[in-house]
Chains A and B, each alone.
Chain A
């Protein structure tokens, strides 16, 4: 009697474990889903047709629309950048975020300089630091031309440090 009971006990334990183990697979996949979902943030944002920036004299401000996925929602945000002329190759793109304290740097047409309205940081037309409290020049963003479109990888950089360090 005792052996029969422990045989059934073993059978039960095995059956329960097998069923529970099988059911655990979809549950684990379901709950771990966000972990193996690579961040679907759009790395390269469209700036415009590359030809439009071929012969620019002064910096052009462009509002990038950046789409970030946050689970079941998307967050659209607008980020200002400046497209400026390069010596050769595709145009350069500068982040409008001031490397001092993060204000939006404006282009002053009459002075031909970038001026940060917050603490009067002044940058030359190529983004290099002229005067004021910012620790470095304006931050240049990675660009590429794909299918005739100018694309930029929008990133944030650490403020208040002399070197350009990428933030998440």
Chain B
């Protein structure tokens, strides 16, 4: 061990790195209150790992997204468990994030040359909310579709560029396959890359400023290194998180609803719990007042929040001596809880709403109880459709097969290596010309291997109808 350590250290300087990482002094000693930052990092890594594995089966397209998620949930070994870890992990991140922010505000740890550290944290806050929002659409079930329809509608309230912005995010006027592509790229490439970069910056700035320690009036006289006691607390927190998530995922796996149906006008969208307060808040701002409630007030709150270390500049860190900053934060949190409760109560009191929500829950349970249905590949369907389209064409398909046209032109007339597709041939050879070249191929066709076909008149007409109907 010692010799291997020497060998590695000579080449990497790993002992110095470990010393820098582990022996950071923590003024006032380790505390459980400090575990939330590393807890968030742990949850983020868990989301990355489970997310990468989910991508082994997921396909980001309106045609396949729901089928592939259903496949993960209903067929793939441990699929439901891993997806549940990912779904519940996002909720856990929001909870731990709020605890992390609450601890920082309560302890006044944003003070003392820590403005940039705070700002990097604010950007991370926004990025994590963005991850939750973009990830929610990807399963493409009813609630994902309608919640995202509402969520993206809010963007239209932004002055001047609102409509443009909404269309940019959606990739068109409506939610569709391009929306999935955009959300997928944001969720899987752009936002995680930004989070990695910002986490690096956040940790670097944290180490530069040093741990703030507890909010006491006298300067800290004692300090203890990060390793081992704080590391153990952080690890215990990580273990607790993964055990909690694993237990939830095992006993109460996350459900998938029926596939998104844009034509379902009765569906009542309800966002994930952490967006419910915002969702309810929007109800209070109808019509022209929307810009105040949806744009101005949230922007004001965001600016005040991000500007906290610039506004609350005194050296006082004890919470009871900073009633305005601690009080406002508590007030906003209480307000959000109140909005969430109000939303829940409103849903329960309106019988029509309660009934519809119950119908939606039943639809989810019913879908989960069904076995997985594989998706028929597009090529298989065309044959069936062409045969059913019109009787003459159906008869023509019989001729097509009896004459072994399919040997070269393919089972559905789409062509093979040895002969071209027949789609569009009816337009190329109109007015009976098609039948003539089938019976007497042109020189070019003969060179390609086309044989003259001896057909009765009804068979020739049926074959021509079949070829004309090919798509």
Bound Cα distance from A78 to B64, whole angstroms? 24
Residue ID in chain B nearest A27 by CB atoms: B53
Task: Indicate whether B346 reaches chain A with its CB closer than 8 angstroms.
Answer: no
Q: Using A8-B228, A12-B232 as known contacts, say yes or no to A26 and B82 having CB atoms under 8 A apart.
A: yes
The answer to whether A106 touches B404 (Cβ under 8 A) is yes
For B377, give its contact among A4, A76, A104, A107 (CB under 8 Å): A76
Task: Indicate whether B375 reaches chain A with its CB closer than 8 angstroms.
Answer: yes
Task: Mark contacts of B69-110 with chain A using CB atoms, 8 A cut-off: 1 yes-contact digit, 0 otherwise.
Answer: 011000111110110000000000000000000000000000
Task: Mark contacts of B364-408 with chain A using CB atoms, 8 A cut-off: 1 yes-contact digit, 0 otherwise.
Answer: 000000001011110110010000000000000000011110111
Task: Indicate whether A38 reaches chain B with its CB closer than 8 angstroms.
Answer: no
Categorize the interface residue count of chain B. 35 or more
The answer to whether B401 touches A27 (Cβ under 8 A) is no
Q: Using A5-B227, A26-B78, A117-B451 as known contacts, say yes or no to A74 and B239 having CB atoms under 8 A apart.
A: no
Task: Indicate whether B119 reaches chain A with its CB closer than 8 angstroms.
Answer: no
Task: Indicate whether B184 reaches chain A with its CB closer than 8 angstroms.
Answer: no
Task: Indicate whether B68 reaches chain A with its CB closer than 8 angstroms.
Answer: yes
Bound Cα distance from A26 to B80, whole angstroms? 10
Bound Cα distance from A16 to B82, whole angstroms? 19
Bound Cα distance from A72 to B451, whole angstroms? 40
Q: Of the 9-residue stretches A29-37, A49-57, A137-145, A146-154, which lies at the interface with chain B?
A: A29-37
The answer to whether B403 touches A33 (Cβ under 8 A) is no
The smallest beta-carbon distance between A13 and chain B, in angstroms, is 11
Q: Using A29-B77, A61-B401, A78-B411 as known contacts, say yes or no to A16 and B235 having CB atoms under 8 A apart.
A: yes
The answer to whether B235 touches A72 (Cβ under 8 A) is no
Write out the residue numbers on chain A whose beta carbons fall within 8 Å of the beta carbon of B404. 96, 103-106, 116-117
The smallest beta-carbon distance between B469 and chain A, in angstroms, is 17
The answer to whether A30 touches B401 (Cβ under 8 A) is no
Interface of A: prevailing SS: mixed
Write out the residue numbers on chain B whose beta carbons fall within 8 Å of the beta carbon of A107. 402
Bound Cα distance from A56 to B251, whole angstroms? 59
Write out the residue numbers on chain A whose beta carbons fall within 8 Å of the beta carbon of B411. 77-78
Residue ID in chain B nearest A98 by CB atoms: B407
Residues of chain A at interface, number, CB under 8 A = 43
The answer to whether B71 touches A71 (Cβ under 8 A) is yes
Write out the residue numbers on chain B whose beta carbons fall within 8 Å of the beta carbon of A9. 228
For B57, give its contact among A16, A72, A75, A116 (CB under 8 Å): A72
For B407, give its contact among A23, A27, A117 (CB under 8 Å): A117
The answer to whether B374 touches A106 (Cβ under 8 A) is no
The answer to whether A75 touches B408 (Cβ under 8 A) is no
Bound Cα distance from A117 to B402, whole angstroms? 11
The answer to whether A30 touches B407 (Cβ under 8 A) is no
Task: Indicate whether A15 reaches chain B with its CB closer than 8 angstroms.
Answer: yes
Write out the residue numbers on chain B whose beta carbons fall within 8 Å of the beta carbon of A125. none
Residue ID in chain B nearest A97 by CB atoms: B407
The smallest beta-carbon distance between A61 and chain B, in angstroms, is 7
Task: Indicate whether A166 reaches chain B with its CB closer than 8 angstroms.
Answer: no
For A30, give its contact among B76, B228, B239, B377 (CB under 8 Å): B76
Write out the residue numbers on chain A whose beta carbons fall within 8 Å of the beta carbon of B68. 72
Interface of B: prevailing SS: helix
Write out the residue numbers on chain A whose beta carbons fall within 8 Å of the beta carbon of B79. 30, 33
Task: Indicate whether B216 reaches chain A with its CB closer than 8 angstroms.
Answer: no
Write out the residue numbers on chain A whose beta carbons fall within 8 Å of the beta carbon of B67. 72-73
Task: Indicate whether B56 reaches chain A with its CB closer than 8 angstroms.
Answer: yes
Task: Mark contacts of A96-132 with chain B using CB atoms, 8 A cut-off: 1 yes-contact digit, 0 otherwise.
Answer: 1010001111110000000011100000000000000
The answer to whether B78 touches A78 (Cβ under 8 A) is no
Bound Cα distance from A27 to B70, whole angstroms? 18
The answer to whether A74 touches B377 (Cβ under 8 A) is yes
For A29, give its contact among B57, B70, B78 (CB under 8 Å): B78
Task: Indicate whether B231 reaches chain A with its CB closer than 8 angstroms.
Answer: yes
The answer to whether A74 touches B376 (Cβ under 8 A) is yes
Residue ID in chain B nearest A74 by CB atoms: B374
Bound Cα distance from A73 to B401, whole angstroms? 26
The answer to whether B71 touches A72 (Cβ under 8 A) is yes
The answer to whether A117 touches B374 (Cβ under 8 A) is no
For B228, give its contact among A5, A19, A73 (CB under 8 Å): A5
Write out the residue numbers on chain B whose beta carbons fall within 8 Å of the beta carbon of A104. 401, 404, 406-407
Task: Indicate whether B449 reaches chain A with its CB closer than 8 angstroms.
Answer: yes
For A31, give its contact among B53, B228, B449 (CB under 8 Å): B53
For A33, give its contact among B77, B232, B449 (CB under 8 Å): B77
Task: Indicate whether A80 reaches chain B with its CB closer than 8 angstroms.
Answer: yes
The answer to whether A118 touches B376 (Cβ under 8 A) is no
The smallest beta-carbon distance between A45 and chain B, in angstroms, is 14
Write out the residue numbers on chain A whose beta carbons fall within 8 Å of the beta carbon of B383. 76, 78
Bound Cα distance from A4 to B57, whole angstroms? 46
The answer to whether A27 touches B82 (Cβ under 8 A) is yes
Q: Please list the residues of chain A having a beta carbon within 8 angstroms of any beta carbon in chain B.
A: 4-5, 8-9, 11-12, 15-16, 19, 23, 25-27, 29-33, 36, 61, 63, 69-78, 80, 96, 98, 102-107, 116-118
Q: A19-B238, A72-B67 are known contacts; what are 4 more A-B pairs with Cβ within 8 Å?
A: A15-B235, A25-B78, A74-B376, A116-B404
**Please, could you name 9 A-B residue pairs with CB atoms under 8 Å apart, sorted by A?**
A8-B232, A12-B232, A26-B82, A27-B78, A31-B53, A33-B76, A71-B71, A76-B376, A104-B406
